[in-house]
Each structure stands twice: as C-alpha cells, then as structure tokens.
Amino acid sequence: MAKKVMDMLEADRPREKLARLGAAALKDEELMAILLGSGNAQMDVMTMAKAFVKHIDGKGLDIKLEDLIMPGVGAAKATKVLAALEFARRRIKPEGLRILETKDVMQLVQHFAFQRQEHVLCITINGANEVINTHTVAVGGLDKAGLDPREVFSRAVSEKASGVILAHNHPEGTIEPSPSDQDVTRKIKAAGQIVGVPLLDHIIFNRKEYYSFLENGML
C-alpha cells in the first residue's frame, strides 16, 4: 500500500522534496502527486498518482480525458493532468524529434531507468525518422512479460509507422542482453518483416549506460 503524504517525513513529501532538490530528483509518481494535489476517500494521492502514471505510460500521446477518469477520480483532477501534459507537449514536441542515433532515443526513455520493474517500450517512427509515439507494451522482465508481437505492431500499424524501436530498462545488473532479450528481439524482428514495419533497434539501458542491438551488430 502506498504511503500517504501526511505519513511521510516532511523532507520526503513531494512538494518539499522538489523545493529542496529540484524537479529532476522526483520519481514520476511524486511529480504526478504534486499535480493531483490530494487524494480522496477511496484512494490516497500517492496511489492515485501511480495509477495515473501507469495509464499515461500505456497510452503515450494518445491519452484522453476518459482514460484518466477512474473510480473516485472525477474530471477535475483528470483535466488538470491532461492540461499539464498538453502544455509540456507543445513545448517539447516529442513527436517531432528525429531519431538519428541512439542518444536521441535515450532522451525519451531515460526516466524509466529509475523504475524498479523492467518496462518494455515501443517507439514508433515515421518515414522521416521522427517519433510518432512512445508506448509501454509490457511491464516485468522479458522472460516474464511474455511480450506479444501483436501488442507492438498493432499500435505501429494503426499509427502508420515506418519502423519501431524497442527499449527496456534493466533496474539492476548488467546491460548486456540476456538470452530472453535476444530471443524477444529475434521474434519482434521476424514479426516486423512480416507486417512490413521493421525493428530498427532494441536498446537496453540503466541509469548510467545503454546497450544497442544495432550498434553491436546484433540486429
């Protein structure tokens, strides 16, 4: 169960932590908790923030108001979060980001390096090597997540993508690909060849470094 903000040490509360350390030091759910402001009778703010982050990670730029309305959460909080996302999107414009090398991908996914679980991400790319969207397609190790190629390519086809890039974080240990990582890469590459949407790269990363299947001749 998530700890209520009032039960936290004052220095660990999201607002106080941001004031002391800056926004970059906060976890995603802590930033979201600040946006939400408070919880409700059904859900404390930290639990609510984690639920919002999960929905947003799954939908990417396709997130809509109805996706954020859940039991005990009305339109007021949902509209506030959606407005904040749109405000940021208009300035950062990730869909206009061109992927020319691996470091361009990392600026989209690096914040997932702080997650305790592995998150498998699919970045859809258009013909000009520009980012269309970023989706979370599985949570958990690739050997446990059972990544379904249909989950990757159904989104890619609906977005008329010219290619996809997979990325996932390794919360602990080496960034060297495991046998499961290599097996999944082969399956996704083969599926992409069938549907005509090639797998352009698969990147494994942690807080300090990354491994690119493409750069290492593994794709």
In a domain, residue 218? The reply is no
Distances (CA, A) of 96 to 71, 92, 115: 35, 9, 26
* CATH label of the domain that carries residue 115: 3.40.140.10
Considering its fold, how many domains does the chain have in total? 2
Mean pLDDT across 184-205: 94
Find the domain containing 151 and state its range. Answer: 96-212
Q: Has residue 8 got a pLDDT over 80?
A: no
pLDDT digits (tens, 9 = 90+) for 63-76: 888 888 877 777 88
Q: Which of 31, 22, 131, 38 is nearest to 84 (CA)?
A: 31
Q: Which of 50, 38, 47, 43 is nearest to 76 (CA)?
A: 38
Tally of CA atoms within 13 A in the half-sphere of 98 that contains its CB = 4
pLDDT digits (tens, 9 = 90+) for 110-143: 888 888 888 999 999 999 888 988 888 888 766 6
Q: Are residue 87 and residue 147 in the same domain, yes or no?
A: no
